[in-house]
Amino acid sequence: MEGAIRILSRELEVFLVAPRLASISGRSGVNTTGLDANATRWKIQPYTHKGESRVMPSITEVTLRLVTVDEAPPCDDWHDVPVIVYSNGGYCSN
């Protein structure tokens, strides 16, 4: 993920902050996930082997939320690199 991202690790929530020029109600060009263009919240399981039915139940879901700057939680740390969210569940010694 790239852009204004806020992560609350204890709540397993990632906030994707929409640019000021794009309104959440219009969502024009904001949601490029391939999901419902009206979605402002969805869940993912950050794991590469999604076809592994034995492993996927052990992968914790992370909630993604598309929010405005005013709705986003405060930012404590700033980084100039993209965010990678992954699970440490699944296969070991892989």
Q: What is the pLDDT of residue 22?
A: 46
Give the residue-averaged pLDDT of 2-30: 71
Strand order in the sheet with 13-17: 5-8, 13-17, 62-67, 41-44
- State phi, psi for 58 to the nearest 5 degrees: -90, -5
Q: What is the pLDDT of residue 77?
A: 85
Q: What is the pLDDT of residue 58?
A: 82
Q: What is the pLDDT of residue 30?
A: 45
* Cβ atoms 49, 86 nearer than 8 A: no
Report the alpha-carbon distance of residue 18 to residue 31 in Å, rounded.
9
Give the residue-averaged pLDDT of 20-36: 49
Query: What are the structure tokens assigned to 20, written together?
Result: 């000021």
Q: What is the pLDDT of residue 92?
A: 65
Residue 23 pLDDT > 50 = no
- When comparing pLDDT for 37 and 21, which is higher? 37
